[in-house]
Structure 1
């Protein structure tokens, strides 16, 4: 729905003292000794809702889910995605409570610096930024590979150049443009997933060339697949299940974008909790149901599930359509994948630039990265992040492609490290509140099942981080070991190096800064979007 579909209702404005009101009438956050970046709260509720959805739905779902079926079978993949979904929900609950109380840009690094240890904020922030910068280069490369699906003669260098310019320039526009861009691209993703679910139900019920399918793939070749080991026993099937946990985690990464966008969201005390609360249902609907139906339509021993391609030929959606005798879907899915990749590239630059702003604010990055335009765009951070997208040109040479692959492997576990740090920061945040005798019942948003839920997420995130490279041990392969754990090694080096140089100490709970950036009072001027058309009401219901 566009802005023309909405009625804007403005709540009564309370009288405020001049020290808490900016020139344009917006609430000003309580500031500490250093001035906070002048970012603008221009993201509306519908923008944040779609960022929460679109940040998760990407190539991990459209392509990577096929590999999950191949490794663990339909039942193993389904259980794996549900289990990792609970971990993600624990992370979002932890993030929601902090981001609502202190809605600032670069929230992850700031929370770690304030509540746990400045060295943790430094190392987590830089490795997380690096993952977004390198992923931007990956997405630019993927655009060329996707377009080559239609014409193999085209050079990917052409599309790397074109889309680098487009995405980079887009991020120099006010943040409301980013929100609008993500809103419509996320809408395309949602329609595609919903369309596939309807298609899958019809095919499974007998609309395809093979008639009624039911749960036939669960019987032949089976519900669980052995992986890596020669046997077909329980251990081999458990190894497959554990491999799916890693794959599912990569697919879910991006859910935390809500926390990054909180610093530029209108009325964060109302809009951020609304996005957080619905995360679980989105995970259930878009991921779990999709994996379930793929498992019904495609047997895990289908060789195309393990394709290394980046275009539609590797998508389990397309493989399911081929098996059903539907020939028009591959081209359509490939077009959707192009939108998916462009949306991801746009989010890469946005997220990376805001993380840099947070690092600069905490003194962990050069101060010039805090500079913003009059419209609140951190142009220095955007330029610095976008420049790394040019590394995509390494793929034009064989040797450069090898280097590029290694750089990407450094970022592979950055999402899990970030999730673990968010859970850890929330545990420290709760201790800081308790040290000041601030009841959690007074918070704008109180997350559920705490602190047990945060400890649950922290434990399993750490477990996956340390076991995600287990394939290097079956059999032992030194190269694969370093590829799998180079990101963990880099994180430790960043942490220890910062600790030795800066001589930082762990932050006592009573000294944790829970004031800087905290809104002094509830926002009292906000826009309520009331859809008036059938189309608008549909999106309101979906979001």
Structure 2
């Protein structure tokens, strides 16, 4: 049995969209507002989104022309070097495993939902308590439940899987639009504040010129930058936070071998374009509207940790409803956040299993020892079009999520997110290099410079013409976008963990920031 082509265009679009709407939006957006202010947070999402969209366009063009298994590493193997391609393949598989684990860890954080009574009283909230009894439950219980559920959804035949994810994606889209409308309405009703842009005005400002790089255990500043340097440090650190929200756009490429309408409907072409625009637009609108109702100095937004990720009570989306004294919404939002993280976890396991299955199809990736070749052969097998063994192998590694039983789970979650970010930046950067080589070679073939080497005729040469109608997908000045994405990924890789280098150096945080390199 082989992988079956049973996904339609709508399924691919929603798989990509559903993957992008997870904890990065609902939990990290508040930290971004705290670090850079509402205006700085919006700008950071635009910049990081543009970098990721540029990298995705490079991969989209090559995948539309060559819809192969393991597209994410195949092009690095073809155009750079075999060893580089294999390294990219393992990095992509590993990063999806880590993201899936992070989503499950985030779920355990969300079940520990609790606002301090003093904070509710300060905001004039009508209820004395906003909390869930589930905060007392052992996190291992929630890890076990959602770990199993994620597996069950990934064992579905691909057609049913696509339908389920389409439904989940629609729900998430409705929720995102609802959040935008909700925050616009509560800002306009003038219940608490009369000014529309009060969070952008004095004493808050739209962006910050003061940044606390390192804080003491009690929350007091230890290393602070002010002025232009402080503004730059705040904006850059915010981009390193928002980049986690933007990784994962490439999941649409993992669906290429299972695309039913790849050639007829230009599935990859439309998916990459639509996904980039939808995600960037929704992220910017959500952060902008939420930033109208939550000041950057809110006590529940305060987070000086290097790599920590907090729970629902620290989400700007929920804080907005608390500050505007809206009943029931905090509980509803937190419950939906759990669903969002769960849905993302399903897609992350899907992507990791497809990456592992593609790696299993290449003998050179694996050691020559018989035991590894037997393992490879088993991972390559499918049942009902689903690579069951690859799913189970990846799912087993996701058991790392049981680390959440430790008290420092927020810090563990942040470090896992950092490892995933660095791994993905390496993957995207190397694929941008592969695209630039591909771009040079395909233009040389179209000009006829490679006729003798490739035995091309004038008729076959036309297949390499990027401006020809039959060419499946290209964008203007794509080589320039590739350079832009490559430089962006490279700079992020170098300075992603700059705060870990400030004395006293945290060895654990430094390793989490740079171990993937």
TM-score by length of 1: 0.78
- Residue of structure 1 in register with 2:330 after alignment: 330
Write the mapping of 1:45-84 to structure 2, written as runs, cut at 5 A: 45-84=9-48
Distance change >3 Å, CA 306–CA 368, structure 1 → 2: farther
Distance change >3 Å, CA 476–CA 396, structure 1 → 2: closer
- Residue of structure 1 in register with 2:191 after alignment: 208
Q: Deviations over 1:471-491 (max 9, x none)?
A: 123345151333321121xxx
- Residue of structure 2 in register with 1:275 after alignment: 271
- Preserved contact between residue 138 and residue 392 of structure 1 (Cα < 8 Å): yes
Pairwise CA distance, 1:349:
1.0
Distance change >3 Å, CA 172–CA 332, structure 1 → 2: same
C-alpha separation in 2, matches of 1:253 and 1:61: 12
Write the mapping of 1:257-296 to structure 2, written as runs, cut at 5 A: 257-269=251-263, 270-296=266-292
C-alpha separation in 2, matches of 1:407 and 1:247: 13
Q: Which moved more, 1:135-144 or 1:190-199?
A: 135-144
- Equivalent position SS for 1:304: coil
Pairwise CA distance, 1:74:
1.5
Q: Tell me, yes or no, if structure 1 residue 484 matches structure 2 residue 478.
A: no
- Equivalent position SS for 1:380: helix
- Preserved contact between residue 244 and residue 417 of structure 2 (Cα < 8 Å): no
Distance change >3 Å, CA 43–CA 116, structure 1 → 2: same
- Residue of structure 2 in register with 1:354 after alignment: 354
Q: 2:386 aligns with which of 371, 377, 382?
A: 377
Distance change >3 Å, CA 100–CA 190, structure 1 → 2: same
C-alpha separation in 2, matches of 1:267 and 1:421: 28
C-alpha separation in 2, matches of 1:399 and 1:67: 18
Write the mapping of 1:509-528 to structure 2, written as runs, cut at 5 A: none
Q: Tell me, yes or no, if structure 1 residue 232 matches structure 2 residue 261.
A: no
Pairwise CA distance, 1:190:
1.3
- Equivalent position SS for 1:39: coil
- Preserved contact between residue 133 and residue 388 of structure 1 (Cα < 8 Å): yes
Q: Tell me, yes or no, if structure 1 residue 414 matches structure 2 residue 423.
A: yes
- Residue of structure 2 in register with 1:340 after alignment: 340
Write the mapping of 1:109-188 to structure 2, written as runs, cut at 5 A: 109-149=73-113, 150-151=132-133, 152-188=135-171
- Equivalent position SS for 2:295: coil
- 5+ residue gaps, structure 1, are 1-36, 489-543
Q: CA RMSD in A?
A: 2.3
C-alpha separation in 1, matches of 2:224 and 2:108: 38
- Residue of structure 1 in register with 2:482 after alignment: 454
Pairwise CA distance, 1:343:
0.7
C-alpha separation in 2, matches of 1:211 and 1:337: 30
- Residue of structure 2 in register with 1:525 after alignment: none
Q: Which moved more, 1:474-483 or 1:42-51?
A: 474-483
C-alpha separation in 2, matches of 1:408 and 1:286: 22
- Residue of structure 1 in register with 2:450 after alignment: none
- Residue of structure 1 in register with 2:370 after alignment: none
C-alpha separation in 2, matches of 1:400 and 1:102: 41
- Residue of structure 1 in register with 2:398 after alignment: 389
- Preserved contact between residue 109 and residue 410 of structure 2 (Cα < 8 Å): no
- Residue of structure 1 in register with 2:124 after alignment: none
C-alpha separation in 1, matches of 2:103 and 2:16: 19
- Residue of structure 2 in register with 1:502 after alignment: none
Pairwise CA distance, 1:427:
1.3
Q: Which moved more, 1:388-397 or 1:260-269?
A: 388-397
- Residue of structure 1 in register with 2:472 after alignment: 444
Q: Deviations over 1:112-150 (max 9, x none)?
A: 111111111121111221122233233223333333432
- Preserved contact between residue 110 and residue 358 of structure 1 (Cα < 8 Å): no
Q: Deviations over 1:185-204 (max 9, x none)?
A: 22222111111111111122
Pairwise CA distance, 1:422:
2.3
- Preserved contact between residue 101 and residue 400 of structure 2 (Cα < 8 Å): yes
Pairwise CA distance, 1:450:
2.2
C-alpha separation in 2, matches of 1:354 and 1:123: 16
C-alpha separation in 1, matches of 2:432 and 2:233: 26
Pairwise CA distance, 1:177:
2.3
TM-score by length of 2: 0.82
Q: Deviations over 1:410-467 (max 9, x none)?
A: 3341121122122122112212313433221232111231211111111111111111
C-alpha separation in 1, matches of 2:408 and 2:52: 37
Q: Deviations over 1:250-275 (max 9, x none)?
A: 11111111111122111213111111
- Preserved contact between residue 309 and residue 413 of structure 2 (Cα < 8 Å): no
Pairs aligned (count): 452
Pairwise CA distance, 1:409:
4.6
